[in-house]
Structure 1
Amino acid sequence: MKIQGKMFMWLSVFLLITAIVYGVWSKEAVGTTALFMAFGLSIMIGFYLGFTARRVDVGAQDNKEADVADDAGELGFFSPHSWQPLGLGIGGALAFLGIAVGWWLVYFAAPIIVISLWGWVFEYYRGENRTQ
């Protein structure tokens, strides 16, 4: 993660210079503010990545002598299939359709969203995916 932190720090330097030059030449407040905000976001991400890289073990991506296979291993836990996101999508679509068509549709969307969200949160506590 060290290289990503350095990349964001260099990007923040570029954005700061660009924001100053743009602000002086254009005298336009919105674009200048957007560039300064992009500078702030970039420096926050760069600081976080650099700070985290100092605290974690050195991975294969930071070792110049490492091969690609050296970083192989367990990548994490990936959920099996789930029907709950489909229910959330249908409920969300109905809710946004309710904004355009009529607020009464939200009354039908809310239970679908709540039931699907409840099922998604607790899907590992019951059924075939139950963890021991």
Structure 2
Amino acid sequence: MRTEAWLFTGTAVFFGVTGSLYAVFAQEPAGIAALLVSFLMSGLIAVFLWRQYRRDGRRPEDRGGAEVRSVGGRSAFFPARSYFPVVAAAGCALTGLGVVEGLWLTLIGVGVLLPGVFGFVFQNLGHPE
């Protein structure tokens, strides 16, 4: 996790420096906005990865002598069968197609996507950790 955190931190710094220089020299709003959004997105991922690393420590795959069965720290519970990935994928496809075809299909896609995402988030509430 630490390697990924450093990777995204470096990416965020790159986009931050590049965006600052671009804003000073180019004065072009579309490029400045694109570099700013890239900086913010990579910075968000970097912050998340640093937080996970500090909370859980090194993962088994980060250690050279780890066994396959080693599970360090917390582990997530994934149910054996769930229809929520299919529902969410169908909702994403309909929403994306609706952007091209029309508002009516976008609304249907969002109506299918929301229960899929809701199910992903709340399907493990009854599982004891």
Q: Which TM-score bucket, shorter chain as reference?
A: 0.5 to 0.7
Two-structure CA RMSD over aligned residues (Å)? 4.3
Give the drift of 1:3. 0.9
Match of 1:69 in 2: 68
Counterpart of 2:55 in structure 1 is 55
Q: Quickly say closer, same or farther: Cα 1:82–1:14, change in 2 above 3 A.
A: closer
Equivalent-residue separation in structure 2 for 1:56 and 1:84 (angstroms): 26
Partner SS state of residue 52, structure 1: helix
Name the structure 2 match of 1:19: 19
Is the 2:2–2:58 contact (alpha carbons within 8 Å) kept by the matching residues of 1?
Answer: no
Q: Distance in 1 between matches of 2:34 and 2:82?
A: 41
Residues 60 and 70 of structure 1 are in contact (CA less than 8 Å); yes or no, is this contact kept in structure 2? Answer: no
Which residue of the partner structure matches residue 127 of structure 1?
none
Larger Rg belongs to: 1
Q: Which amino acid aligns with 2:16?
A: L
Q: How does 1:70-85 map to 2 (within 5 A)?
A: 76-80=77-81, 82=83, 85=86
Q: Distance in 1 between matches of 2:84 and 2:10?
A: 43
Flag structure 1 segments of 5+ consecutive residues without an equivalent.
122-132
Render the CA deviation track for 1:4-42: whole Å, top value 9, x for unaligned. 111110001111111122222321012112212211221
Taking structure 1 as the reference length, the TM-score comes to 0.54
Q: For 1:18, what is the secondary structure of its paired residue?
A: helix
* Percent identity over paired residues: 21
4+ long deviations beyond 6 Å: none
Structure 2: segments with no counterpart, 5+ residues: 120-129
- Distance change >3 Å, CA 57–CA 12, structure 1 → 2: closer
Counterpart in 2 of 1:36?
36
Residue 35 of structure 1 aligns to a residue whose secondary structure is helix
Query: Structure 1 residue 76: deviation in Å?
Result: 4.9
Q: Deviations over 1:38-69 (max 9, x none)?
A: 11221121111111111114222332x33573
Task: Tell me the TM-score normalized by structure 2.
Answer: 0.55
Matches within 5 A, 1:99-114: 100=102
